[in-house]
Amino acid sequence: MAAHTRGLPGHDDISATLAAIRDNRQLLATPDPVAPVARQAADLLRATLKEKMTAYQERLEQGLADLQATNEWDRLNQTQRESMLQRPNLRPVTTSSLSSDRDLLAVLGSRSLGEWDTALDALPTRLTDAQAEVIRLIQPEVREVSLPKPLFEKPADVERWIKDVREALLGHVNAGHPVRIK
């Protein structure tokens, strides 16, 4: 369990205590010197995991609420809406029991703390991709356009960029293609 605490505040204390128990050959001592350290590690892991799961769920709910508040969402039929919400990367966190150490380790075995960080970091992109898919469903001919991201040093740079972007976007729109900025 201590290995899962790597990178968390408190990990060094837990590791040092376990090393001292091992080095001083206290593993079979009475009372068990490992039990309090294991509890400390488990408490730290539970708190950290709950925090990450809560953050993920809150960000997902807010992102889905934002998606569902769009005009494009309203234009989807019920089947399309349900399909979007069933995507594996947009499903809510399943609440797992973390009450026992065994449950805690099972949850960490299925998704480590680092993987929770990755999932949190990936969530905005997943929600943006879902928004793009909603738009593609209602406007299959939509063109996704990436705007250049230059460095603006003078007002003339801004004016030139606006002119170039305007021409590019109007070129698509005038050709009958809706445009979405990536």
Looking at residue 29, what is its pLDDT?
A: 67
Most confident by average pLDDT, 69-78, 90-99, 100-109: 69-78
Is-above-0.85 flag for pTM? Answer: no
Most confident by average pLDDT, 19-33, 84-98, 129-143, 155-169: 155-169
The string of pLDDT tens digits covering residues 112-131 is 999 999 999 999 999 999 99
Token couple for 63: 């992102």
